[in-house]
Amino acid sequence: MWVYEKKLLYPVEVTTCNPMLARYIMEQYGGADGELAAALRYMNQRYTVPDKVIGLLTDISTEEFSHLEMLATMIYKLTKDASPEQLEKAGLGAHFVNHGHSLFYENAGGVPFTATYIQSKGDPIADLYEDIAAEEKARATYQWLIDISDDPGINDSLRFLRERENIHSLRFREAVEMLKDERDRKKVF
Amino acid sequence: MSVFDERMALLKKIQQTDFVVVEWTLYTDTHPDDEDALDQWREAIKDAAAARKQYENKFGPISLKSTPSKQALEVGWRWNQAPWPWQL
Amino acid sequence: MQHPSYRGSYKPFVSPRDPCPPITVKYFVLPPQIFTNFQQPGLPQFSPEEALIHGSLWPQFVDGFFREEGIS
């Protein structure tokens, strides 16, 4: 089970009223390499990996949900008081007629989230290599978001999130090393 | 310092100490035999609990794992009460 | 650039028919974690305050990223 904590993992301060930026950040909210995909991918893979890496998948998945909440906070703040005209100018007109001011799991182009973004192969190495790739792709997405955003508060939070991808990638690489240590273990008995 | 600023400062302290716990948790997931790391992890959990207590005494529980302090209840704290994290 | 050791570069071919003014050197990220398969125990640590700011407890895995670098 999970217990909600009434706090963000890292402070989110939004400096500008910029619905266009909200639209771009949706790439990491409901996109293929976004935080929702990451959280669901790891949480689902954990049932069929060797016991020694279950903890890591559980803990990283849980952290991804806290990243999702940070992104939701950014999108919420950036669009909260925007008029329909402002949203339309920001390319969110179609979003507005379908969802009003609410958030939705979709990417920057408005494509709704789909489970086909993630995979579970039941093969520990295939799954961990997918996870490492996912972290590096998310890191790259954060880079391009930082490049396109001129909001210092948002960029501070995005820089934090990008660094977390580095650490998660490192841990998944370590998980691969842990599994390599199992080579020929059966013969030892 | 305004009440809002005090709240944000105490919250920041929780975010800092909790983050150290997050880091040691992931590290020990892949380094289960690093005894020194396990010690630092336990210390980090203690530090985080202390920071949490400071905030919660004044502003009420952050999760339903803590008992609301008398002070928090007296000033009208309820779980289902704004501000939620994304509203601050 | 703040962390030159975590960036790579290459010179793309420039054609006289390229429509935009050519960028003669392109940079890309080589993040710290790809240079290690397993974190050594006992690495130097940030204070909790710095760790949160950087997004890592260990300076060795922080490369930072700023739009001023001009990678894109």
Whether residue B26 and residue A59 make contact (CB cut-off 8 A), yes or no, is yes
Cα angle: A89, vertex A90, A92; to 5 degrees: 100
Peptide bond into A19 cis (omega under 30): no
Q: Range of C44's domain?
A: 4-69
Range A119-123, long-range pairs (CB < 8 A, 24+ positions)? A119/A41, A120/A41, A120/A44, A120/A45, A120/A48, A122/A48
Lowest mean pLDDT among A4-8, B16-20, B22-26, C65-69: C65-69
> What is the band of C1 on the pLDDT scale with cuts at 50, 70, 90?
very low
Predicted pLDDT at C33: 96
B8 residue type, one letter? M
* Chain B residues inside the 8 Å CB shell of C49: 16
* Chain C residues inside the 8 Å CB shell of A144: 72
Residue A184 pLDDT more than 60?
A: yes
Please give the Cα distance from A186 to A183 (Å, whole number): 8
| Predicted confidence (pLDDT) per residue in B27-54, tens digit | 999 999 999 999 999 999 999 999 999 9
The percent of residues above 90 in pLDDT, for chain C, comes to: 83
> What's the mean pLDDT in C10-24?
95
**Domain boundaries A19-182, corresponding CATH code:** 1.20.1260.10
Please give the Cα distance from C59 to B11 (Å, whole number): 24
Nearest in space to C5 (alpha carbons), one of C27, C26, C24, C32:
C32
For residue C9, report the phi and psi dihedrals to the nearest 5 degrees: -150, 160
Predicted pLDDT at C60: 96
* Chain A residues inside the 8 Å CB shell of B84: 6
C14 residue type, one letter? V
| ipTM for the predicted complex | 0.95
Whether residue B19 and residue A10 make contact (CB cut-off 8 A), yes or no, is yes
Residue A188 pLDDT more than 90?
A: no
Residue C57 pLDDT more than 50?
A: yes
Which one of C57, C60, C61 makes the best mutation probe of the B interface by having the most chain B beta carbons within 10 Å? C57
Give the total number of structural domains in chain C. 1
Domain boundaries, chain B: 3-74
| Predicted confidence (pLDDT) per residue in A29-41, tens digit | 999 999 999 999 9
Using an 8 Å Cβ cutoff, are C32 and A136 in contact? no
Domain boundaries, chain A: 19-182
Min Cα distance B88 → chain A (Å) is 9
SS3 content of chain A, % helix, strand, coil (to 5): 70, 0, 30
> What is the band of C3 on the pLDDT scale with cuts at 50, 70, 90?
very low
Q: Provide the token pair at B74.
A: 């007296």
Whether residue A174 and residue B25 make contact (CB cut-off 8 A), yes or no, is no
Chain A residues whose C-beta is within 8 A of a chain C C-beta are 10, 136, 139-140, 142-144, 146-147, 149-150, 155, 159-164, 166-167, 169-170, 173-174, 176-177
Please give the Cα distance from A158 to A78 (Å, whole number): 14
Q: Provide the token pair at B13.
A: 């302290």
Predicted pLDDT at A187: 61
Q: With H, G, I as helix, E, B as strand and everything else as coil, classify residue C9.
A: strand
> What's the mean pLDDT in C46-57?
98
Please give the Cα distance from B28 to A35 (Å, whole number): 23
